[in-house]
Amino acid sequence: MTGAIAAPAGGCHLFSGCGFPAPGLQDFEWKPFFSIGSFHFTKPMLLAIISAIVVIAFFWAAFRKPKLIPGRTQSLGEMAILGVRDQILRPSLGRKGDSYLPFLVSLFFFIYIMNLMELIPVFQFPVTSRIGFVWPMVFIVYFLYLYLGFKHQGGWGYIRNMIPPGVPAPVLIILIPVELLRFFVFQPFTLGVRLFGNMFAGHLLLTIFILATWYLLSFSVGLLYAAGSFALAIFVFLLETLVTLLQAFIFTTLTATYIASSVEPAH
């Protein structure tokens, strides 16, 4: 893994006369594998497709022929589904929200596998650190959120329920621009940017420490620094194993709460 990431550093080491090849935005740009006109097929696209195939293949293998006494794959699949149901869906939607379970399970594991690509050797890139992959998911979630809201509360009811309850009329006038902007711009914006930002920053940190380990590696005092940088790279790696899961969890949990507020308004 180190070798592949450190490739841009080449033979550049401490005291060899070249500066530290600091990672940056260029590490998130990929040469296309192939191009069709203006369409360029890049590594993040390939990883997104692989992530989707992994999720589909796993659940297909787990539930292709479900048995009363489940095998290993089926048990794992059931654990995965029950985990999403009990930790994400039911706390927000209750039992009546079970019809949204397939959507939330798909969303959670798709995001999780895309995030996890960061830590898998050879792949080594979190798909969600490219914001273009995050916005379509945000769009799907928000479209569902609005659609369910209009479906369950009606057009006027939905707009009425957007108004915070118990707010005096003069204050409401002041709040209208804030509420509109929050609902249509900043709520979906924060949903997407949080996932993107965390994965982007995590990948950058990991790249910095791995590159620094390679750069500092020399038969001098640099070896000590390289060891320190390597220890930090391991630490960030372990941290990222948690972050990948946590970000998928947060995105899906917020999706569940949005669905809940559309299906059953609080007021």
Number of C-alpha atoms within 13 angstroms, CB side, residue 110? 17
Q: Would you say 42 or 190 has its CB closer to another protein?
A: 190
Residue type, 40: H
In the complex, least distance from residue 194 CB atom to another protein, rounded to whole angstroms: 8
Smallest distance, Å, CB 88 to another protein? 7
Report whether 149 contacts 262 (CB < 8 A).
Answer: yes
* Number of Cβ within a 10 Å radius of residue 66: 11
Residue 209 tokens, joined: 């420490």
Q: How far is the CB of 97 from another protein (least distance, A)?
A: 8
Beta carbon nearer to another protein, 11 or 166: 166
Enumerate binding residues for another protein (CB under 8 A). Answer: 86-88, 90-97, 164-166, 171, 174-175, 177-182, 185-187, 189-191, 194, 250, 253-254, 256-257, 259-261, 263-267
Nearer to another protein, 44 or 97 (CB): 97
CB neighbours (10 Å) of residue 196? Answer: 20
CB nearer to another protein: pick between 56 and 181: 181
Q: What is the DSSP secondary-structure string of 173-192?
A: HHHHHHHHHIIIIIHHHHHH
Least Å distance, CB 184 to another protein, is 9
* Shortest spacing between CB 85 and another protein, in angstroms: 9
124 and 117 in contact (C-beta within 8 Å)?
A: yes
Q: What is the dihedral of CA 87, 57, 238, 229, to 10 degrees?
A: -150
CA dist 108 and 179 (Å) reads 28
Give the pair of three-digit tokens for residue 25.
């935005």
Q: Residue 6 or residue 148: which is nearer to another protein going by CB?
A: 148
